[in-house]
Amino acid sequence: MTRTGRRRVDREKIYSRVEESLRPLTLPNFITMIRMAMVPFLVLAISSHRFGLALVIFVVAGLSDSLDGALARILDMRSLFGAYLDPIADKLLLSTAYIALTLDLGQMVVIPAWLTILVIFRDIVIVLVALVLYLAAGIRKFPPSIWGKMTTFMHVVTVTVVLAANVWAVPAWLPSTCFTISLVLVVISGSHYIYRAARTVEGLE
């Protein structure tokens, strides 16, 4: 095979790998996009005080998060597009839920403004640090730590408890406990993320 032919074959292989890694139109990615589409309906349900419906929407959205990840592994449909889309959908869902439940529209239980501000600020810091790592060092993969996963899980629990508290009578200490635990995890996970980023940069020097 001539050098030109080998180059053409190499380019075709590269293009094939890129197309395979993107693969946006897969079943898991479709489910992720449906989860993103549920966000405005969640806000509408909360704003109209239909907290039972909002709870159902939020639970279904949470289950879809587990479903798309499981399908991606079982069906071998992992993709670069999905790797970026899935955390964006999660952040959009949780951040929107936090903001909507912080607005006092006459409901029985609201998320404190100070907690929502800290949650949003932490997410902004994480995005900015990830952007700096990518632009300065070309680091594309920076998986969440156990603290980050615990924080996300606690956000889900907090939103679920607050929605449930606006449907049924729950002990007053339950939402308060969720707020306190979420605060502690937000501070720890945010600090740990910055620490890991600093250590990663040091390791490149």
Task: Provide the number of structural domains found in the chain.
Answer: 2
Residue ranges in the chain modelled with pLDDT below 50: 9, 15, 18-19, 22
65 in Cβ contact with 86 (< 8 Å): yes
Let me know whether 158 and 198 are in one domain: yes
73 and 119 co-located in one domain: no
Measured distance CA(60)–CA(58) in Å, rounded = 5
pLDDT digits (tens, 9 = 90+) for 146-198: 888 899 899 999 999 999 999 998 898 999 999 999 999 999 998 888 888 77
Residues 35 and 85 placed together within one structural domain of the fold: yes
Residues 128 and 34 in one domain: no
With contact defined as beta carbons under 8 Å apart, do 161 and 174 qualify? yes
Whether residue 11 sits in one domain with residue 71 = yes
Which residue's entry shows tokens 């609201």? 110
Same domain? For 174 and 77 the reply is no
User: What per-residue confidence (pLDDT) applies to 17?
Assistant: 54
* Same-domain check for residues 103 and 2: yes
**What is the DSSP code (8-state) at residue 25?**
S
pLDDT score for 75: 66
Tell me, yes or no, whether 89 and 140 share the same domain: no
Would you say 160 and 111 are in contact if contact means Cβ atoms under 8 Å apart?
no
Q: Tell me the C-alpha distance between 36 and 18, whole Å.
A: 25
Q: What pLDDT, on a 0 to 100 scale, did the predictor assign at position 9?
A: 46
* Residue 87 domain boundaries: 1-107
Q: Are residue 119 and residue 35 in the same domain, yes or no?
A: no
Does residue 48 share a domain with residue 142?
Answer: no
Short-list 91, 92, 93, 72, CA closest to 83: 72
Please enumerate in sequence order all residues whose Cβ is within 8 A of that of 98, keeping only pairs 6 or more positions apart, or say none. Answer: 111, 115, 116, 119, 120, 155, 159
**Listed residues 88, 107, 126: the one ending a domain:** 107
Q: Are residues 116 and 26 in the same domain?
A: no
Domain boundary residue, one of 107, 131, 154 = 107
Q: Answer yes or no: do 99 and 125 share one domain.
A: no
C-beta neighbour count of 32 within 10 angstroms: 25
Domain boundary among 54, 79, 107: 107
Q: Which residue do the tokens 């250590």 mark? A: 199
The letter for the amino acid at 157 is V
| Rounded Cα distance, 88 and 127, in Å | 11
* Helices 146-165 & 51-74 angle (0-180, nearest 10): 150
